[in-house]
Amino acid sequence: MRQKMGRRYAWELIMLTILMSVGVCIVFSIHFRHNVLSEYQKTVYSSTKAIARLIDGERVLKYVDTLQTDELYERIDGRMRWLQKGFDLQYFYVCIPTETGMIYVWDTEGALGESLGEEEEYSNFETAQMMNKEIFRRDPIESLWEYDDPYYGPLITGASPIFDKNGDPVALVCADISVKEVKKTMWLVIVQVILSVVVALSVASIIYYFRVRKQLIEPINRLTEAASEIAEHLDKEDEYYHNKIYTGDELQTLSESFEKMDIQLRKIMSDNIRITAEKERMSAELNMAASIQDSQLPHRFPAFPDRDEFEIYADMKPAREVGGDFYDFYFIDESHLALVIADVSGKGIPAALFMMISRVLVKNRLQTGENPADVFFHVNNELMENNTESQFLTLWVGILDLVSGELVTVNAGHEYPIMRKAGERFCLIRDHHHPPLAFMEELTYSTETYQMHPGDTLFVYTDGVPEACDVAEEMYGTDRILRILDTKPDASPKSMIETVLADVRNITKGAEQFDDITMLALKYNGTKAAEGNG
């Protein structure tokens, strides 16, 4: 029996040695190659980025239109040549990509201004894809490519966009760096390391096998018997573990641990019932807290059936039993409607308590008719008092005059609201973002005013909507909100929210909800007086 176990152990050790050798070599190869190439990628990236920051997009277009250089053109050309020499770049140039090729603006391979305005067709389809992929994207970012050039060999190519005054990309700063010699040296080092690892692990495995063959197998068998004893005697209160091992090493320590484990398991079994009961009690309390929080938010729709100047709907889906988001709406007087949406930092019970306090403070002050900017000022200072947990909240408030359609808003770090003018598409309202409430004392806030007309729609939400992620951790995004809303432009507020929520659920299917999802939508119908004036 011992001989069979020994042979089996030897074969297993050999296989383990082989697998470890392969694993170590693969990891080292990947890590070493990555680190070496990363340094070259950083060089290319920093070179293109440095030049891109110096160049104005409008001036690039002017150079190409006039084919005339100036002092700035010469300084940039000098800087590019200096970077090319210092970083050993193979090729360094600035171009304007087109559908079929690229128009050169700067080219360090020729004389000053020699290539300005020269157009060159793409040498292959891959180059065309790389160029156009970056320059015609809505929000281009720097990119790096690694490929084998037929003439220069292995290259790392980087590109950084140049923007015009409107923020649109008009040209690319491109750089190539050769990694041919580096790859040769890199693979030589990797082969040497692989051979060293294989030899070292093989020798170590042989030595280890002969040292522990007799010292390990039999004690392990005894420990296996000891584990069986624990399982057999666990339900007997007067029979404890007694199969101890005295080897003077870690195996004896393990045997003593078995003895302690036997005692602890018995204790855990007795405590398990108490812990289960405690969890059930906490679950019941959390459910009650969720019910209390939910009851604080308006849930009756239509909310104001006797008022036909507007339609309103809102919903909140907490990420946990209780959430930190909240929405609210109420009349300040007969003609002014307050709209509130907020997002408290954190989750769970602390966020829910802070949410309820914030909601009451905001509502109490808004209902007095106080200016919204002053409301934010006072509520901010009140929340800062005894805020030992450093919690804060983003808050958006809008006061809608139902007669004139005037909407007065204040935004304290909240998501941009979305509005649709009658007959048009939904768009973001990029209002001024003030700091969140409870972030710092004595902060001042200001209002912004928008005019709503009959048929206009307002949609506000918390960051749980655009930041909802699918299983690949890709965020939902505000662009998708706009596209989904535009699919049903004349939908009711309830239908708008249900459509967005259904799409979020579909996109994030299988992924955990990490943040509260809250939305509020309002459609302004106006009054007869307002329509007549319009």
**Tokens read off for 206:** 């042989």
Within this chain, domains 2-183 and 292-533 share the same CATH topology: no
For residue 395, which of 431, 449, 353 has the smallest C-alpha distance?
Answer: 431
H helix or E strand, kind and range, residue 209: helix 180-233
Total residues belonging to the chain: 534
Angle CA 484–490–493, to nearest 5: 75
Cβ-contact 156, 179 below 8 angstroms: yes
How many CA atoms does the CB half-sphere of 421 hold within 13 Å? Answer: 4
CATH of 292-533, picked from 3.30.465.10, 3.30.590.10, 3.60.40.10, 3.40.640.10, is 3.60.40.10
Hey, which residues does 389 pair with through a beta bridge?
Answer: none
Cβ-contact 10, 209 below 8 angstroms: yes
Please say whether the dihedral angle defined by the alpha carbons of residues 121, 125, 127 and 131, taken in this order, is positive or negative.
positive
H helix or E strand, kind and range, residue 167: none
What burial class does residue 278 get, using C-beta atoms within 10 Å of its C-beta: 0-12 exposed, 13-18 middle, 19+ buried? exposed
Cβ-contact 381, 441 below 8 angstroms: yes
What burial class does residue 427 get, using C-beta atoms within 10 Å of its C-beta: 0-12 exposed, 13-18 middle, 19+ buried? middle
Peptide bond into 372 cis (omega under 30): no
User: CA-to-CA distance for 502 and 63, rounded, in angstroms?
Assistant: 51
Hey, which residues does 434 pair with through a beta bridge?
Answer: 412
Give the domain ranges of the chain.
2-183, 292-533
User: CA-to-CA distance for 168 and 63, rounded, in angstroms?
Assistant: 18
Q: What pLDDT does residue 435 have?
A: 95
What burial class does residue 414 get, using C-beta atoms within 10 Å of its C-beta: 0-12 exposed, 13-18 middle, 19+ buried? buried
Q: What pLDDT does residue 529 have?
A: 42
Cβ-contact 392, 373 below 8 angstroms: no
Q: The tokens 């030897």 sit on which residue? A: 10
Summary count for the chain: helices (H), strands (E):
11, 16
User: CA-to-CA distance for 491 and 480, rounded, in angstroms?
Assistant: 17
User: CA-to-CA distance for 158 and 173, rounded, in angstroms?
Assistant: 8
Cβ-contact 472, 466 below 8 angstroms: no
What burial class does residue 75 get, using C-beta atoms within 10 Å of its C-beta: 0-12 exposed, 13-18 middle, 19+ buried? exposed
**Tokens read off for 19:** 């697998």
H helix or E strand, kind and range, residue 73: helix 71-86
pLDDT averaged per 10 residues in sequence order, the chain, 534 residues:
58 78 73 70 84 88 90 91 87 85 87 84 67 53 65 78 84 83 68 76 71 64 65 58 64 69 68 62 57 74 93 90 84 96 84 88 94 96 87 95 96 96 95 93 95 96 92 91 95 96 90 87 80 44
Hey, which residues does 519 pair with through a beta bridge?
Answer: 315, 461
Residue 439: strand, helix, or coil: coil
User: CA-to-CA distance for 342 and 407, rounded, in angstroms?
Assistant: 18
**Tokens read off for 71:** 């002092």
Peptide bond into 302 cis (omega under 30): yes
User: CA-to-CA distance for 378 and 46, rounded, in angstroms?
Assistant: 47
Q: The tokens 């655009």 sit on which residue? A: 466
Cβ-contact 143, 161 below 8 angstroms: no
What burial class does residue 477 get, using C-beta atoms within 10 Å of its C-beta: 0-12 exposed, 13-18 middle, 19+ buried? middle
Superfamily in which the 2-183 domain is placed by CATH: PAS domain (3.30.450.20)
How many CA atoms does the CB half-sphere of 366 hold within 13 Å? Answer: 26
User: CA-to-CA distance for 39 and 47, rounded, in angstroms?
Assistant: 12
